[in-house]
């Protein structure tokens, strides 16, 4: 790898899950109630990419698919050390399930050309599926390792990682490959003011569905390319819980009695 590492990082902009409001009556997510942020898991993928670049040289490209405002997450990726950023944005990408999303991302990576490593978060905080990483790997016909909690070493065209599958396994994988990473992998550094300022001057490339037409049929993106549809969304209430607050000086004794009656504090 005389030219250094070519690394692609997949980034998703998500609503800040701490602040997003859910309408329990109507069963609706009020996306406007929360500011957008970069999927927290993806920041760990980006940090790993930048560290590899610092050690071995190379180029980090951040790719995101989403509406125009997802540019701000790519701007953040540039501030955190990505060299290039590409936003896939087009009404024809909208409404995509994981397979349609993966097709667009895989097509964009093919268009970029050669790569050694693709890094992404193990899942996103809005979709929670964790499917896009392995699906992209399959569409690009490269091996993947999921739940990577440690990168041990890079030797030649191989990378050795720890995969946290409950038990932890040491895995060696031949490059090019894709890794999905856990939050345990590293602690993402905060960009400096200078990083933020210089990121503002960088250009974010915008690709639409036609830009990917040489690599995938544009009819297979977005809602048209999706294989699953959401029939309805229910916001579960909290009605099931008893919500009994035990008060007074004997509150602990009351709690103890409840545990004992429940058979939890048997002699």
Partner 1 sequence: MIGGILVYAETIDSKIHPISFELLGKAREIAEKLGLEVWSVIMGFNIREHARDLIYYGADKVYVYDDESLKDFDVVMYKDVLVKLVREIEPEIFLVGATPLGRSLAPRVAAALDTGLTADCIDLQVDDEGNLIQIRPAFTGNILAHIKTMSKPIMSTIRYKVMSMPTRDENRSGEIVVKDPPKKIDTGIRILGRISRRAVNITDAEVIVSAGRGLKKREDLKMLEELANLLGGVLGASRPLVDEGWITKDHQVGFSGNTVKPRLYIACGISGSPQHLAGMRDSQIIVAINADPSAPIFRYADYGVVGDLYEVVPKLISMIKRVKGVGGS
d(CA 85, CA 77): 8
Task: Give the one residue of 67, 95, 127, 191 binding partner 1; rule: CB under 8 A.
Answer: 127
Part in contact with partner 1 (CB under 8 A); list of ranges 66-74, 84-92, 207-215, 222-230: 222-230
162 part of the interface to partner 1, by CB under 8 A: yes
Q: What is the 3-state secondary structure (H, E, C) of 29-95?
A: EEHHHCCEEECHHHHHHHHHHHHHHHHHCEEEEEEEECCHHHHHHHHHHHHCCCCEEEEECCHHHCC
Query: What three-state secondary structure class fits 3?
Result: coil
246 part of the interface to partner 1, by CB under 8 A: yes
Task: Give the one residue of 37, 47, 164, 216 binding partner 1; rule: CB under 8 A.
Answer: 164
- Could you tell me if 27 and 233 are in contact, meaning their C-beta atoms sit under 8 angstroms apart? yes
Q: Which is nearer to partner 1, 131 or 206 (CB)?
A: 131
Tell me which residue has tokens 């060696």: 172
Tell which positions 7-36 bind partner 1, by CB under 8 A: 17-18, 20, 22, 27, 29
Please state the closest distance from residue 65 (CB atom) to partner 1, in A.
16
Query: What three-state secondary structure class fits 25?
Result: coil
Please state the closest distance from residue 30 (CB atom) to partner 1, in A.
11
Q: Which is nearer to partner 1, 39 or 85 (CB)?
A: 39
2 part of the interface to partner 1, by CB under 8 A: no
């Amino acid at each position: 790898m005389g030219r250094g590492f070519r690394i692609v990082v997949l980034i998703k902009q998500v609503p800040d899950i701490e602040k997003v409001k859910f309408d329990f009556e109507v069963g609706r997510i009020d996306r406007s109630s929360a500011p957008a942020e970069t999927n927290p898991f993806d920041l760990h993928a980006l940090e790993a990419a930048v560290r590899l670049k610092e050690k071995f040289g190379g180029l980090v490209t951040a790719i995101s698919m989403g509406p125009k405002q997802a540019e701000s997450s790519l701007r953040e990726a540039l501030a955190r050390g990505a060299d290039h950023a590409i936003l896939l944005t087009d009404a024809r990408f909208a409404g995509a399930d994981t397979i349609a999303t993966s097709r667009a991302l895989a097509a964009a990576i093919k268009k970029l050309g050669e790569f050694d490593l693709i890094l992404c978060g193990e899942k996103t905080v809005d979709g929670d599926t964790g499917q896009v990483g392995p699906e992209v790997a399959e569409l690009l016909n490269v091996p993947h390792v999921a739940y990577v909690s440690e990168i041990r070493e890079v030797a030649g065209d191989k990378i050795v990682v720890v995969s946290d599958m409950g038990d932890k396994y040491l895995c060696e994988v031949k490059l090019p490959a894709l890794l999905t990473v856990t939050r345990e992998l590293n602690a993402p550094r905060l960009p400096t003011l200078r990083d933020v300022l210089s990121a503002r001057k960088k250009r974010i490339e915008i690709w639409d569905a036609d830009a990917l037409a040489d690599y995938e049929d544009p009819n297979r993106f977005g809602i048209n390319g999706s294989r699953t549809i959401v029939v309805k969304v229910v916001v579960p209430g909290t009605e099931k819980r008893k919500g009994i607050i035990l008060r007074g000086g004997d509150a602990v004794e009351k709690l103890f009695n409840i545990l004992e009656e429940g058979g939890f504090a048997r002699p």
